[in-house]
Amino acid sequence: MKFIINSQVFSKNLQALSGVINNNNTVAILNCFHFRLEENVLTIRATDLETTLVSTIHLDTAKVEGISEVAVPAKILLDILKSFNDIPLTFSVNPDNYLIDIVAGEGKYHLAGQNPETYPVLKKAENTTKIVLPASVLVNAISKTSFATSNDEMRQQMSGIYCEMNSESLTFVGTDAHKLVRYRRFDVVSDENSSFILPKKPIGMVKNIILMNKEDVDVVVEYNSTNVFFSFDNFYIICRLVDGKYPNYEAAIPKENPNKLIINRSEFLTSLRRVSIFANQSTLQVRLLCTEKELIISSEDIENSNDAKEKIACEYEGDQMEIGFNAKFLIEMVNNIDTENVMMELAHPSRAGILFPVNEEDDMKENILMLVMPVMLNVN
């Protein structure tokens, strides 16, 4: 096996795949990239058994002699590639002992490769259902929902992003029982009703690879009862779905919310960040007092004699209400809304608040709902 490749192209593809390699692998072969050369196409694979990332690179100069596959230690290869400028590299493998030679300009480097026979076999997409969606839609859905998922390993179902498809819409949901985000698209539909839970870490890798390529390509998504397969550009990603049943998230969304607050998103966000500095750092509680023309945001830390209060102009319809929220959760929500204004719907200080982006023009393609649970107000 011998080929010539640009160092920057090589490094970019390997960096994209390296995120799946764990630092504490007990199986040595999983610390390697799997290389396969077929004619002038180099296919590179990385896996942790649950998730597999694949990249294909078309080469100008390549030759298959003796062997077409080799397992290459990932860390040392990545480290040497980081040091190169934009230059051509010659990569060759001795078929007798898998010793790898890398030639770069006047430099020559020897690297001990491994027999690829023990590398995990690539899963095939069998008995799958397929949909196609723009990369920008997938990135937006992941960005809007992943921050709301749980980090509790004991609740695996809530640690992932729930995906629900039918003939009317495509829905992504993230929740940790304290906050919930539902991102729905009406321009991407499926002929079949189906649902599954996407694991957060690999789906984040998918997002990062799409953003790295900086192109809004179509993403082909195939799925069956155990795995989901993503393919776009020169990348192919396979990840195991999260087992279990997702909670009934619709039941957590209050249906009757007569009190409606509209406020400038930027002012609301910066005020929350300032006021939360003075909150009790164990509860991060902030109070929202909603009146007809202004919102009063306040916090206090009795133990340290700290408190803060700010007033912001707003539009409010409903009964005057004071409600408490965890500032961190509320800031995360508002920070992930893109519109100039935000609407919050409220029913009672003991019931969840619901946030929506306020669009100047009705967007019939998407719908975003963010829910945050209240906290019991301290008694003054």
pLDDT tens digits along 64-88: 888 899 999 999 999 999 999 899 9
Work out the pLDDT band at 363, boundaries 50, 70, 90.
low
Whether 236 is in a domain gets the answer yes
Instruction: Please tell me whether residues 102 and 196 are part of one structural domain.
Output: no
* Residues 6 or more apart whose Cβ sits within 8 Å of residue 362: none
Tell me which H or E stretch contains 299.
strand 294-301
* Mutual angle of helices 327-335 and 265-276, in 10-degree steps: 150
- 105 plus 141 within the same structural domain: no
Assess whether 362 and 303 both reside in one domain: yes
CA distance 358 to 348: 22
pLDDT of residue 66: 81
Domain span at 21: 2-118
Asked if pLDDT for residue 380 goes beyond 60, the answer is no
Structurally, the chain folds into a number of domains equal to 3
Is the same domain home to 257 and 370? yes
Domain endpoint, select from 96, 118, 140: 118
The stretch 307-335 carries a mean pLDDT of 96
Residues 6+ apart with CB under 8 A from 91: 2, 3, 4, 5, 100, 101, 102
Helix (H) or strand (E) segment spanning residue 207: helix 200-213
Instruction: Give the Cα separation of 245 and 249 in Å (integer).
Output: 11
CB 344 within 8 A of CB 259: no
How far is residue 135's CA from residue 139's CA, in Å, rounded to a whole number?
6
- What whole-number distance in Å separates Cα of residue 49 and Cα of residue 67? 24
Round to whole Å and give the CA distance between 349 and 250.
20
Of all residues in the chain, what percent carry a pLDDT higher than 90? 84
| Same domain (yes/no): 230, 340 | no
Structural domain contains residue 80 = yes
> Residue 360's domain is classified under what CATH number?
3.10.150.10
Spatial distance between the Cα atoms of 157 and 197, rounded to a whole number of angstroms = 7
Residue 311 pLDDT grade (very low, low, confident, very high; cuts 50, 70, 90): very high
The answer to whether the CB of 61 falls within 8 A of the CB of 3 is yes
Instruction: State the DSSP string of 321-334.
Output: EEEEEEHHHHHHHH
Whether 371 maps to a domain, the answer reads yes
pLDDT bracket for residue 364 (50, 70, 90): confident
Asked if 97 and 158 sit in the same domain, the reply is no
Contacts of 343 (CB under 8 A, 6+ apart): 260, 261, 262, 355, 356, 357, 358
CA 248 to CA 158: how far, in whole Å? 11
- pLDDT bin (cut points 50, 70, 90) of residue 25 is confident
pTM of the entire predicted model: 0.91
How sure is the predictor about 365, in pLDDT bands with cuts at 50, 70 and 90? confident
In this structure, the answer to whether residues 262 and 365 fall within a common structural domain is yes
The whole-angstrom separation of Cα 175 and Cα 151 is 10
pLDDT confidence bin for 8, thresholds 50/70/90:
very high
Q: Are residues 273 and 317 in the same domain?
A: yes
Last residue of a domain, which of 207, 234, 251?
251
In sequence order, what are the residues at sequence separation of 6 or more whose Cβ sits closer than 8 angstroms to the Cβ of residue 72?
32, 33, 34, 35, 100, 111, 113, 114
Among 251, 270, 292, the domain-final residue is: 251
* pLDDT tens for each residue of 142-161: 999 999 999 987 888 999 99
Name the burial class of residue 235, with classes exposed (0-12), middle (13-18) and buried (19+) by CB atoms within 10 angstroms of its CB: buried
146 and 219 housed in the same domain: yes
Mean pLDDT of the chain: 93
Cβ(343)–Cβ(269) below 8 Å: no
Cα separation, 352 vs 372, in Å, equals 6
For residue 290, being part of any structural domain is answered with yes
b or e along 333-358 (b: 16 or more beta carbons within 10 Å of the residue's beta carbon)? Answer: bbebbeeebbbbbbbebeebbbbbbb
Sign of CA dihedral 311, 317, 323, 329: negative
State the residue for tokens 């196409």. 41
Instruction: Give the pLDDT score at 378.
Output: 64
> What pLDDT digit, counting tens, does each position of 177-192 carry?
999 999 999 999 988 8
CB atoms inside a 10 Å sphere around CB 286: 25
Q: Is residue 380 part of a domain?
A: no
What residues are paired with 107 via a beta bridge? 104
**367 and 280 in one domain?**
yes
